[in-house]
Chains A and B, each alone.
Chain A
Amino acid sequence: ETGVTQSPTHLIKTRGQQVTLRCSSQSGHNTVSWYQQALGQGPQFIFQYYREEENGRGNFPPRFSGLQFPNYSSELNVNALELDDSALYLCASSLGRGGSQETQYFGPGTRLLVL
């Protein structure tokens, strides 16, 4: 039990729609990272937020965007959904500024299916 929660657990959308996924970090954790895990693959880094500012981004298009709030919750928004966006979306929280040496604690994920 990491203390990181995500909602919803499962979601089905159609191509072209928009989706918002939510994450609640451990209390006191200032950094949240989002990862996309396609079926049979390892997680791929989408972006990271530290104290409500974007703090690093992976190789994902601008239609993937995020927000982090002062109450340790955060959102991942995806516009103009494509079939390849079907994946498990994981958030992870860490205590400090989010360097690679910091332990990241993962939530259970949201499984998104795009039809």
Chain B
Amino acid sequence: GEDVEQSLFLSVREGDSSVINCTYTDSSSTYLYWYKQEPGAGLQLLTYIFSNMDMKQDQRLTVLLNKKDKHLSLRIADTQTGDSAIYFCAEGLTGANNLFFGTGTRLTVIP
């Protein structure tokens, strides 16, 4: 549960879709989370997916989970400048009380 990897940077144009990727290594993951962190702020929960699901959609956000490849992605449709932030994926493991976070992906939205 300690190897959660994300690419560090992503730039997209306003109005395009953003796709942020995450890979994890622990097969006992139960829930997988996406958090957003704006400059100088704490973490805001965006969405989560249970490990027996393949996809979850919540307004502009779509989470895809490929459990075989241990790959998680967050798609943001119609990306806005207010979406510029750091996005963290995190996994919760069976029997663990805490979350394991990736290093975060800094999303920059170009007007």
Contacts and interface: CB of A to CB of B under 8 A. Distances in A.
B103 to A, nearest CB: 5
A86 interface: no
B110 interface: no
Task: Describe A's contact surface by its main secondary structure.
Answer: loop
B47 to A, nearest CB: 10
Interface residues of B, number: 26
Contacts of B104: 41-42
Contacts of A2: 42, 44-45
A107 B45 CA distance: 11
A103 B99 CA distance: 10
Specify which of B41, B43, B88, B92 lies most central, judged by the most chain A CB atoms within 10 Å of its CB.
B43
A43 B43 contact: yes
A90 B97 contact: no
16 contacts: A2-B44, A2-B45, A40-B103, A42-B104, A44-B101, A45-B99, A48-B98, A58-B98, A100-B30, A100-B96, A101-B31, A101-B92, A103-B45, A104-B99, A106-B44, A108-B41
A89 to B, nearest CB: 10
A28 interface: no
Contact of B98 (A41, A45, A106, A107): A45
B41 A43 contact: no
Given A98-B97, A108-B42, A109-B41, 9 more contacts: A2-B45, A44-B101, A45-B100, A56-B97, A100-B30, A101-B92, A104-B99, A106-B35, A106-B43
